[in-house]
Structure formats: structure tokens, C-alpha cells
Amino acid sequence: MPRIIKKEDIQCHPQIPGFQIKSVTEALNQDSQVMEVKRLILDPNIISPEFTHTDIDQLLYVIKGDGIAKVNSTEFPLDKESILWLESGEKYHFISGSLGLEILQATAP
């Protein structure tokens, strides 16, 4: 059944000052999910924690802003509408630019 998820339905999981993770799929209140979707929001000039997903690939879509994704030892420039595919096991973190950075992250466990 189609459903619109409103901004106020999205739960926030604070990590560090200037960095937020908002779970889009938690707003659906479903026990089994075929996909997990989160919004990663970085204020300007913030370095996110490092992440590794050992059992899933993921798709990252830049909603707005600019910055860098550092994957293993390689830097990938990000700007609005960039798409980055990460394979299972890759270590990564983000560095936001002067505009901040907002990313939609989708994984399918």
C-alpha cells in the first residue's frame, strides 16, 4: 500500500553535534522491512563518524549540499544529485563542505 511519510514522522538518532541520522523506514512502524532508508544530515564543515556495513550494499543519493565521501582511502567529491554505490565491507565517512550535506541512504538487508 502506498504511503507518504511526512517530515514530522521521521525519527532522529543524534550522533555527534552537527550530524543527524533520521530513519525514514522507522516511520512505517513495520516489523519486517525489505529496505531501510535513512537521511544523513551534516551541518557545514562536519566530519561524520566512520561506518562499515559488512553484510549489505548501499545506495547513497545527495539531496543537497556538497562535500566528500572518503571510502577506504579514496575520496569521492559529492554535490547535489550525486549517487554513490558502496559495496559490503567498505569503510566510509563523510566530510561536509560549506553548504552542509544531506544524503538519502538506502540499504536492502
pLDDT bucket at 14, cuts 50 / 70 / 90: low
**Residue 69: its pLDDT value, please?**
98
Residue predicted with more confidence, 25 or 54: 54
Q: Of 2.40.10.340, 2.60.120.10, 3.10.580.10, 1.10.1060.10, which CATH number belongs to 7-107?
A: 2.60.120.10
Tell if the pTM clears 0.85, that is, is over it: no
Is 32's pLDDT higher than 70? no
Residues paired with 78 in a beta bridge: 67
- Name the H helices within 1-109: none
Cα separation values, 14 from 20, 39, 49, 75, 102, Å? 5, 12, 12, 25, 14
Question: Quick one: pLDDT at residue 54?
Answer: 83
pLDDT in the model for residue 34:
74
Decide if pLDDT at 9 tops 80: no
